Amino acid sequence: MDQLIEIRKLEHQLELANRAVSRIGDHATVERLREFAAEISDRLRRLRAATLEAEIKRRSHKLWEDAGRPEGRDLEFWLRAERELSER
């Protein structure tokens, strides 16, 4: 849940930075804001990837447990969890 809050916060900061860029005339300030927006975008991308990986891990574990905890089929359950989550 904390990750979702952080994602929303970063999305909001990115939106504000992009809006400010369109309203500011000073070139140096615009460049600093663009750099800041790029940093936020990168953090946002990494956080979303980590959140997705955690969701896949939880779902694949559930699928594995529901199947009776068979050995040697971890990749099968991981790929199935990825597919299910990507279809959402």
Q: For residue range 27-62, list pLDDT tens digits in order.
A: 999 999 999 999 999 999 999 999 999 999 999 999
How far is C-alpha 8 from the chain's CA centre?
A: 10
Residue numbers of the domain that contains 58: 2-87
Tokens at 72, concatenated:
């040697």
Whether the predicted pLDDT of 63 surpasses 90: yes
Please give the model's pTM, rounded to 2 decimal places.
0.73
Q: Compute the distance between CA of residue 65 and CA of residue 68 in angstroms, rounded to an integer.
A: 5
Provide the domain count of the chain: 1
